[in-house]
Amino acid sequence: MPSVSVCFSPILFPLFKNDDAVVVVVDVLRATSAIVTGFDHGVNVMVAVAGIEETLSYKDKGYLVAGERNGEMQEGFDFGNSPFSYKPEVVKGRNVAISTTNGTQAVVAAKDSHKLFIGAFLNISALCKRILNENRDVIVLCAGWKNKFNLEDTLFAGALAEKLAGNGYLLNCDSALAAIELWKNAKPDVNAFLATSSHRNRLKHLDLEADIKYCLTLDLCKSVPELEAGVLVWKD
């Protein structure tokens, strides 16, 4: 049977090297939640970019450009990183270039993986189904915060690992076991569990409580974006 591992930070990702594995990149608050929402609302393709200048250069190619640093939208961008910016009337049929503090950095770090999916609580069941079709080892790559551990991505990793273990996937990675234990404690009230966590509070101070609540909702979306030839697509 395939196994599921959890990598708590992009900086640790080289230690998990497995050329045949499916990698799930997660940045619950908020990059991967925004990406999943974008595809559900009709985005055509998305490019995850590391740098601000490179992202802005996509404007000349007709892309919408989205992004933030430390949670705040940057000058020259069409929108920041709120999933609520990806309204169908804004994004349907459009290409989007996105650069964020952590989420897109994690996508770039894992871009050479056999297969890369975008995960969030919003698409967790659709994602799990898609992963089961692959029947390969899975590495959940938590974007974290500037290469440090974060709680919300770990909870998502635990939730996904628990689902996969329920389908027979092996758990031979201590970080997957730890993530599942945290998820078991958190799942009765994830928002309350995260009350004192750092990025939740950063976003709260930016008056983004609605974003947090939305990003912690299970299964609102059905898209499972994946990386193909360097761009994110959703093959419905």
CA atoms within 13 A on the CB side of 208: 23
- Pick 43 or 143: Cβ nearer ligand MLT: 143
Distance, CA of 69 to CA of 75 (rounded, Å): 11
- Residue 170: CB minimum distance to ligand MLT, A: 30
Q: Which positions from 12 through 51 interact with ligand MLT, judged by CB under 6 A?
A: 27, 29-31
Q: What are phi and psi of 73, to 5 degrees?
A: -60, 145
User: Structure tokens of 220?
Assistant: 């609102």
- By CB under 6 A, the count of residues binding ligand MLT is 13
Interacting residue with ligand MLT among 9, 100, 154, 223 (CB under 6 A): 100
CA distances for 204 relative to 27, 78, 140, 175, 201, angstroms: 17, 22, 26, 28, 5
- Pick 31 or 139: Cβ nearer ligand MLT: 31
Q: What are phi and psi of 168, to 5 degrees?
A: 95, 0
Distance, CA of 174 to CA of 176 (rounded, Å): 5
Interacting residue with ligand MLT among 83, 103, 119, 158 (CB under 6 A): 103
Interacting residue with ligand MLT among 81, 113, 150, 154 (CB under 6 A): 81
Q: One symbol per residue from 151 to 190: x for binding ligand MLT (CB under 6 A), - otherwise; what is it? A: ----------------------------------------
Give the residues lining the site for ligand MLT (CB under 6 A): 27, 29-31, 68, 71, 81, 100-103, 143, 203
